[in-house]
Each structure stands twice: as C-alpha cells, then as structure tokens.
Amino acid sequence: MAVVDDELSDSPLLSQVLGDALVPMLRFHDKILREGVERGIIGPRDEDIIWERHILNSAAIVPFVRERLTTDSQTATVADIGSGGGFPGIVLAACLPQCKVVLVEPMERRVTWLQEVVDELHLANAVVLRKRAEDLAPKSPHASTRHNKKGSQSRRHGRRRSEEQPVSVYGRRDSSTLAAVRNDDSQQDVNGHDSSGVMGREGLANADSNPSVPQTFDVVTCRAVAPMTKLAGWTLPLLRSGGQLIALKGRSAQAELDKAAKEIKKCHGENPRVCQAPVAPGLEDTHVVLVDKR
C-alpha cells in the first residue's frame, strides 16, 4: 500500500487535478500524515492512501460545485455538512477560493481540528461552525408560533411534573427524549462524527459570532454522513430555491435515492440522480448524488 502513496506524492496527477490548490493540499496532506491517526481523523490503514482515498476523492466533487455555481462572485455560498476531518469541505475551500465555504461539524474535537487546518492553510474563505445540520436550518415562523403556544401550555400544566422528574435529558425516558437520543446516535458515521452531548449552540469555532453565515446556501455538500433517507431532511432545508445538494456517495447511491424518494419530495427536492465522478486518470471513479431544490 505504501507504493500507492509514494507514486501519487510525486505524480503529475496531483497538479492536474488540484491546480492552484496543490500547495495548500500538500500542507493538508502533511498535517493528516503527522497527526491524522492519533487524532482520529483517518484510520491507520489510510496513511499510505491519503491522496487517493481522501483528498482526490473529495476533489472529485469540485467540478460539480463549480458547474452549479456558474459564478466567480464572492457571494457564492457552500455549506459542507458533517465536515469531520475536512472532507470534502477543506478541499473545496482550497479549490474554490472565490466561494464562502461553511464547514458545519457538531463534534468539538473535530471542530478544533478544522479550525487548525483553516488557520494553517490560510483559507480566508472558510468558516468553521459548530452545529448540527438540523439546528442550522431556518425555522418556519408558523413552527415558532406553535412552539410558543405549546410552551405556554407546558408552563401552566407541567410545572409540578418538571419538579418531580430529573431535568437531565438522558435521565428522562419519555418518547421525545428517546427520539432525540436516537437522532444523536444516527449522526455517527464512518468519519467518526458523534453529536452526543453537543447542543449545536457553540457558534463559530474561532469564537467569532459571525453574522455573515447565511441562512440558506447555493450548494450543500457532504461525504459519508448518513443515508439519503436522513440526509435529505438535514440538507435540503439549508438550500435556497434553485440550490443543489451534491453528496459524495458509494456504490449504493441509487438504492439510497430510491428509498429516500418521499423524503426528498417532502423537503422540496427534485430531479434526484446519481453521476459518475472521475477522481483522476487511472484511479477508480466515485459517485455523486445530485438533488435540486425547488
């Protein structure tokens, strides 16, 4: 396996695929190689294939994002959901410096990693946000009204109950709590995301409550976060009308889309499809799921 990485480290493929982003990606590769296994960013078996499995695989999404944005404007916005170690969000930010890329990640230690990478690579167009995707979605004013009405009823009728029961979320076993626990558990993925205990209200990782983070985005991306049945509900509400979900997926992408058809439609998604995404000449293609937002 070591030969694979040795060949790619000196390969013209890197410059061919990454272009001007090669310099920051070399620094990114070096940081992953030095710290990635110890900090849980990659597994030990990935040390020799960082370029192929993580960086170039993430870069395969860049042409799809670029085509969708069709603009060099600084106002173009991309949200990368469950950024984890920075795949594909960090790679996107390096390859598309004209776009604002918001790296959304709930897990504190990964937020710390992402902010270090952003700082060390001098990615001025990247912002790290510690939140869960479902907490980032804009809330309907009608939902807020309903919530306020329910809240006032709870205060009138549930005061004694709240005094008798423990206030710890994980100490209560009503149906809503169990649903919340299952929802937190569902955010664990192959990149090691774990939102348990993270309330998603910490704001930016650099402690800057940046008001420029938009409520909706032109493009939402993700890699290995969740099946499409869940991903549709987490990501499509973050898109503006006319925006697009662009998700890196494996060989089961079409089966996932078929299962998620109702959820996609419910979230105002349309024209879901799977596209082959070239990684580099001589390397296996990956798959990209595209869903448009009405």
**Would you list which residues are annotated within the binding site for S-adenosyl-L-methionine?**
82, 87, 133-134, 223
* Binding positions: 82, 87, 133-134, 223
Q: How many residues would you count in the chain?
A: 294
Q: Which amino acid is located at 20 in the chain? A: D
Token couple for 30:
């070096």
Widest distance between CA atoms in the chain: 70
Q: Which residue has the tokens 């004209």?
A: 98
| Sequence-ordered list of residues with C-beta below 8 angstroms from that of 16, at least 6 positions apart, any chain | 280, 281
Question: DSSP string of 138-162?
Answer: PPPHHHHHHHHHHHHHHHHHSHHHH
Where does the chain show beta strands of DSSP type E? 77-81, 100-104, 126-130, 203-204, 217-223, 239-249, 269-277, 286-293
237 within 8 A of 258, measured Cβ to Cβ: no
3-class secondary-structure state, position 274: strand
